[in-house]
Amino acid sequence: MFWGSRKTINMNYFPDEVLEHVFDFIRSHKDRNSVSLVCKSWYKIEKYSRQKVFLGNCYSIGPERLIARFPGLKSLTLKGKPHFADFNLVPDDWGGFLYPWIKAMAKSRIGLEELKLKRMVVSDKSLELLSKSFPNFKSLVLVSCEGFTTDGLAAIASNCRFLKELDLQENEVEDHRGHWLSCFPESCTSLASLNFACLKGEINLASLERLVARSPNLKSLRLNRAVPFDTLQRLLIRAPQLVDLGTGSYVHDPSSEAYNKFKAAIQSCKSIRSLSGFLEVAPCCMSAIYPICENLTFLNLSYAAGLQSNELTKLIQHCKRLQRLWILDCIGDKGLGVVASTCNELQELRVFPSDPFDAGNAAVTEEGLVLVSEGCPKLNSLLYFCQQMTNAALITVAKNCTNFIRFRLCILNPIKPDPVTNQPLDEGFGAIVRSCKGLKRLSLSGLLTDQVFYYIGMYAKKLEMLSVAFAGESDKGMLYVLNGCKKLRKLEIRDCPFGDAALLEGMGKYETMRSLWMSTCEVTLGACKMLAKKMPNLNVEIINETEQTDSNLDDSQKVDKMYLYRTLVGHREDAPEFVWLL
Amino acid sequence: MLSDNGKRLPETDASGLNFEATELTLGLPGESRVTLDGGARLGSKRGFSETVDLSLGDNIDTNKLGRSQIDAQEAAKSPVSKAQVVGWPPVRGHAKRGKKSCKFVKVAVDGAPYLRKVDLQTYNSYQQLLTSLEDMFSCFTIRNYWNEKKMDQANGIEYVPTYEDKDGDWMLIGDVPWQMFVESCKRLRLMKSTEAVGLGAEAK
């Protein structure tokens, strides 16, 4: 009913197609989820127009339900194993299998075009089925996956006629010495992105050259160790349009003809903004890339074990526009000082340990980090493996850089206090969370009491992911976090004295989160059982690698590893013997 | 008192002699050195309060690392024979960053016409090293005071395993913890027993 001159426009009077067109502009998953909750008709329109779906936990819903919910699905992202699987804390065969998803989507004639997977088990069989079931398939991105061989890649290459992207990042791939690269047919000219840096085996170099030559849209190329310097040079000549380059082996005699040719070739690659690789590197050859350094925005030298600090700093001095830098700790504190004075646009820094198991030798300390914070005010993302850290340094860093979104600090000795004051690092991390109001991800290390968790609960209001190891003194620590961090989605804890009281009191919180991991804590089997009973929308899994069977354990026994996550589909059917679903 | 690699170790007694540094132990990377129990559990409360020099009061659980298991299998597999707490530091296991671990040293045997080379990182203990050397130089018998049975006087010549350390001194193999040896060893020499006078390793 209309009142006089007041006109209200009711969106439901628009035909569906108009609404759909409007929804096209709504890209983020969160926003689209909100749109679908407005009313029944919006739900329906959104449902049929949704093309991209992100599942942070592949066990939160099953493939059939996903397909029923979003029949127009074209692009799917799936994550499998919990994050701590990266550090060997999750046994092989835990789960995260791709095959059921491919089978269901193939059966339902989903028009899948893009698939991005992280920590999933991908079999050759699933890759083959994938390659044959989706004629418009364009993009396959596999990150930290395993279970497949180069035969699976051969199937993708052979059958995906419109493939634009094949991006393999840090996967465990069994090399069957086949010629998977040669399986790309001559008619395949659509490649824009090819990354096979993680493959360990030989590559048919002639096929690679021909493939690159017939791919005019190729913007991103990352080679593996088996691609020699000569080939690299020839590839650059064929692909001067590259934006992202990952070298293979970068070893050559600087006085050779091939080296001169390379220097000429790289100069014509004026579009390169991102450089990585250097899986094998001879230090004296780095000067050849100086000409392209001034345009680089991303430089990844974290695999370049052969480069010393002075080589690294000489190189970095040319990289004035760098926004992201991944480097080994052999750059040292002084080298980080050079980064600080050169790279004023730096947003992301990752410093990896060159010798992870020898804490006495880590070459960077709190000094390097302080220098970077002083020179790079735009810094918002940090991963820093170091020998030691002080509260004073963290307080200074917090003052200099208030924009941190990700702050991950790993002191190699996990319970090391501030070496100057011998105090825990509570105050330092407290300063970080107080100052960086946008902080979404935090990893702690060093000696820490319950106090640090008090600060996190009090100040880290936007925190979504927290990783804790060897920290805290009592259940209070965990409770501060569960009660205070309203946006928390993922909490992973190892070797902390948090027990049943904290686990159970936080019960109501877990349905608002994606997952909780607790290993080598004080949680008992009885408490886990109780939690599982009271919260039917959670799967509570116990990973038990000892020989004990169910009947031998009593409820007061502490569990070694517990992983719980919210789910709409109850217990999974594919759990191995050593995983107990409570 | 400074240890081999220049780090200050907290466990020293009044005379300044650092016994605990040379005690055969497995521990966390870094300064804490804790005695390994029969099983695979990391040390005792006492071990931690000695090594972790804190004045934080009673409510710190210095045994917080007590239940963390050393992955004995992992320690055996890896070329670096330090025991590691599983999953620490949190670097991806597959990420092969950093130095390719190998430490090749020359092996000289008195009386042999040429030298050999061994990669110390491929062994986890003195026993493995000596067994391998015996295979390499199969006609010689290496005096090995862990296993007196290997001493075969009927064969005549007996050898004493020695090494040259970072300071240039010739030392008897076996006195220091394995990893300390790997770090300080520059080369090996199998010395004829008759020449090994004064090292306390002569045939009795």
User: What are the φ and ψ backbone dihedral angles of B17, each rounded to 5 degrees?
Assistant: -80, 130
Distances (CA, A) of A55 to A117, A120, A248: 10, 12, 33
Residue A204 structure tokens: 């048919």
DSSP H or E stretch at residue B105? strand B104-109
Asked if residue A573 is part of any domain, the answer here is: no
Residue A60 structure tokens: 């939160």
Nearest to B95 among A170, A357, A359 (CB): A170
User: What are the φ and ψ backbone dihedral angles of A406, each rounded to 5 degrees?
Assistant: -125, 125
**Which of A415, A426, A448, A470 to probe by mutation at the B interface, max B CB count within 10 Å?**
A415
Asked if residue A413 is part of any domain, the answer here is: no
DSSP track, A480-541: HHHHH-TT--EEEEES---BHHHHHHTGGGGGGSSEEEEESSB-BHHHHHHHHHH-TTEEEE
Q: How sure is the predictor about A184, in pLDDT bands with cuts at 50, 70 and 90? A: very high
Chain A, window 461-520: residues with a beta carbon less than 8 angstroms from a chain B beta carbon: 467, 469-470, 473-474, 494-497, 520
Instruction: Please check the confidence at residue A562 and state whether its pLDDT lies above 50.
Output: yes
Residues of B with CB under 8 A from a CB of A: 5, 7, 28-32, 52-56, 59-61, 64-65, 67-69, 71, 74, 78, 80, 82, 84-100
Q: Where are the beta strands (DSSP E) in A91-192?
A: 114-118, 139-143, 146-149, 165-169, 172-174
Nearest to A170 among B53, B80, B92 (CB): B92
**Residue A207 in contact with partner chain B when CB distance is under 8 A:** no
Are the beta carbons of B102 and B121 closer than 8 angstroms?
yes
Most confident of A345-354, B92-101, B124-133, B191-200: A345-354
Distances (CA, A) of A63 to A12, A53, A73, A123: 32, 12, 11, 17
CA dihedral A125, A130, A133, A136 (to 10 degrees): -160
Q: How sure is the predictor about B157, in pLDDT bands with cuts at 50, 70 and 90? A: low
Instruction: Please check the confidence at residue A228 and state whether its pLDDT lies above 80.
Output: yes
Asked if residue A33 is part of any domain, the answer here is: yes
Q: Verify whether the Cβ–Cβ distance B87 to A353 is below 8 Å.
A: no
Instruction: Please check the confidence at residue B36 and state whether its pLDDT lies above 90.
Output: no
Percentage of the residues of chain B whose pLDDT score is greater than 90: 2
- Model-wide pTM > 0.90: no
DSSP track, B134-176: HHHTTTSEE--TT-GGG--GGG--EEEEEEEETTS-EEETTSS
- pLDDT, averaged across chain A: 92
**Residue A360 in contact with partner chain B when CB distance is under 8 A:** yes
Are the beta carbons of A120 and A95 closer than 8 angstroms?
no
Asked if residue A94 is part of any domain, the answer here is: no
- The stretch A514-519 carries a mean pLDDT of 97
Give the model confidence (pLDDT) of A282-314 as tens digits.
Answer: 778 899 999 999 999 999 999 988 788 889 999
Chain A, window 291-320: residues with a beta carbon less than 8 angstroms from a chain B beta carbon: 302-303, 305
A390 class by beta-carbon count within 10 Å (0-12 exposed, 13-18 middle, 19+ buried): buried
Q: How far is B39 from chain A, CA to nearest CA, in Å?
A: 14
Residue of A nearest to B74 (CA): A88
Q: Verify whether the Cβ–Cβ distance A360 to B5 is below 8 Å.
A: yes
Are the beta carbons of A515 and A565 closer than 8 angstroms?
yes
How many structural domains compose chain A? Answer: 1
Q: Verify whether the Cβ–Cβ distance B87 to A89 is below 8 Å.
A: yes
Nearest to A352 among B64, B65, B91 (CB): B91
Q: Verify whether the Cβ–Cβ distance B88 to A87 is below 8 Å.
A: yes
Which of the residue ranges B20-29, B31-40, B101-110, B190-199 would you say has the lowest mean pLDDT?
B31-40
Q: Verify whether the Cβ–Cβ distance B87 to A360 is below 8 Å.
A: no
Asked if residue A30 is part of any domain, the answer here is: yes
Asked if residue A38 is part of any domain, the answer here is: yes
Q: Verify whether the Cβ–Cβ distance B5 to A302 is below 8 Å.
A: no
Distance of CA A287 to the CA centre of its chain: 31
Instruction: Say which amino acid occupies A174.
Output: E
Q: How far is A551 from chain B, CA to nearest CA, in Å?
A: 23
- The stretch B184-204 carries a mean pLDDT of 72
- Residue showing tokens 């597959």: B94
| Residues 6+ positions from B81 with CB-CB distance below 8 Å | B75, B123, B124, B125, B178, B179, B182
Backbone region of residue A119 per phi and psi (left: phi > 0; alpha: psi in -120 to 50; beta: other values): left
Residue of A nearest to B53 (CA): A422
Residue among B189, B146, B185, B149 nearest B167 (CA): B185
| Residues 6+ positions from A418 with CB-CB distance below 8 Å | A389, A390, A391, A392, A424, A425, A428, A446, A447
pLDDT at A554: 85
Return the sign of the alpha-carbon dihedral for residues B34, B38, B41, B45: negative
Q: Verify whether the Cβ–Cβ distance B28 to A414 is below 8 Å.
A: yes
Asked if residue A45 is part of any domain, the answer here is: yes
Which range marks the domain in which residue A18 is found?
A: 12-50
pLDDT at A214: 96
Nearest to B89 among A144, A412, A449 (CB): A412
Q: How far apart are CA A411 and CA A426, in angstroms?
A: 14
Which of the residue ranges A82-96, A123-137, B180-194 would you say has the lowest mean pLDDT?
B180-194
**Residue A385 in contact with partner chain B when CB distance is under 8 A:** yes
Alpha helices (H) along chain B: 19-22, 45-51, 72-77, 126-136, 178-184
Chain A, window 168-187: residues with a beta carbon less than 8 angstroms from a chain B beta carbon: 170, 172
Are the beta carbons of B40 and B70 closer than 8 angstroms?
yes
Nearest to A87 among B29, B59, B90 (CB): B90
Q: How sure is the predictor about A359, in pLDDT bands with cuts at 50, 70 and 90? A: low
Q: How sure is the predictor about B143, in pLDDT bands with cuts at 50, 70 and 90? A: low
Residue A233 structure tokens: 């040079």
Higher pLDDT, A357 or B8: A357
Instruction: Please check the confidence at residue A14 and state whether its pLDDT lies above 50.
Output: yes
Q: How sure is the predictor about B13, in pLDDT bands with cuts at 50, 70 and 90? A: very low
Are the beta carbons of A430 and A444 closer than 8 angstroms?
no
- The stretch A209-216 carries a mean pLDDT of 96
Instruction: Please check the confidence at residue B187 and state whether its pLDDT lies above 70.
Output: yes
**Residue A448 in contact with partner chain B when CB distance is under 8 A:** no
Are the beta carbons of A551 and A539 closer than 8 angstroms?
no
A–B CB contacts, 8 A cutoff, strictly below: 121
Q: How far is A111 from chain B, CA to nearest CA, in Å?
A: 34
Instruction: Please check the confidence at residue B33 and state whether its pLDDT lies above 90.
Output: no
Residue A208 structure tokens: 């690679």
Nearest to A410 among B59, B90, B98 (CB): B90
- B47 CB neighbours in chain A (<8 A) are none
Residue among A463, A482, A464, A462 nearest A472 (CA): A482
pLDDT at A164: 97
Q: How far is B108 from chain A, CA to nearest CA, in Å?
A: 30
Asked if residue A23 is part of any domain, the answer here is: yes
A248 class by beta-carbon count within 10 Å (0-12 exposed, 13-18 middle, 19+ buried): buried
- A170 CB neighbours in chain B (<8 A) are 92, 94-95
Residue A226 structure tokens: 């088996």
DSSP H or E stretch at residue A102? helix A99-107
Q: Verify whether the Cβ–Cβ distance A414 to B61 is below 8 Å.
A: no
CA dihedral A197, A201, A206, A207 (to 10 degrees): -70
Instruction: Please check the confidence at residue A170 and state whether its pLDDT lies above 70.
Output: yes
Distance of CA B174 to the CA centre of its chain: 8
Domain harbouring A27, CATH code = 1.20.1280.50
Q: What count of other Cβ atoms lies within 10 Å of the Cβ of residue A56? A: 15
Q: How far apart are CA A546 and CA B11, in angstroms?
A: 36
Domains, chain B, ordered by start: 120-195 (3.10.20.90)
Return the HEC string of A249-303. EECCCCCCHHHHHHHHHHHCCCCCCEEECCCEECHHHHHHHHHHHCCCCEEECCC
Give the model confidence (pLDDT) of A438-480 as tens digits.
Answer: 999 999 999 999 999 999 999 999 999 999 999 999 999 999 9
Q: How far apart are CA A581 and CA A561, in angstroms?
A: 12
B126 class by beta-carbon count within 10 Å (0-12 exposed, 13-18 middle, 19+ buried): middle
Contacts 24+ apart (CB under 8 A), A205-212: A205/A231, A207/A179, A207/A181, A207/A182, A208/A181, A208/A235, A209/A234, A209/A235, A209/A238, A211/A181, A211/A184, A212/A238, A212/A239
Q: How sure is the predictor about B111, in pLDDT bands with cuts at 50, 70 and 90? A: confident
Q: How far is B1 from chain A, CA to nearest CA, in Å?
A: 16
- Residue showing tokens 């991800």: A441
Q: How sure is the predictor about A502, in pLDDT bands with cuts at 50, 70 and 90? A: very high
pLDDT at B63: 41
Q: Where are the beta strands (DSSP E) in A274-389?
A: 274-276, 280-281, 298-300, 324-328, 348-352, 381-386
Residue B77 structure tokens: 């597999």
Most confident of A40-44, A478-482, B174-178: A478-482
User: What are the φ and ψ backbone dihedral angles of B98, each rounded to 5 degrees?
Assistant: 80, -175
Q: How far is A65 from chain B, CA to nearest CA, in Å?
A: 33
**Residue A457 in contact with partner chain B when CB distance is under 8 A:** no
CA dihedral B197, B198, B203, B204 (to 10 degrees): 140
| Residues 6+ positions from B59 with CB-CB distance below 8 Å | A473, A474
- pLDDT, averaged across chain B: 59
Q: How sure is the predictor about A61, in pLDDT bands with cuts at 50, 70 and 90? A: very high
Distance of CA B83 to the CA centre of its chain: 12
Nearest to B98 among A89, A353, A410 (CB): A353
CA angle, B35 as apex, B163 and B12 as ends, to 5°? 75
Q: How far apart are CA A218 and CA B190, in angstroms?
A: 59
Residue A550 is classified by DSSP as G
State ipTM: 0.82
Considering only the C-alpha atoms of chain A, give the largest distance between any 2 of them, rounded to a whole number of Å: 87
Q: Verify whether the Cβ–Cβ distance B89 to A172 is below 8 Å.
A: no
Q: Verify whether the Cβ–Cβ distance A358 to B80 is below 8 Å.
A: yes
User: What are the φ and ψ backbone dihedral angles of A496, each rounded to 5 degrees?
Assistant: -125, 155
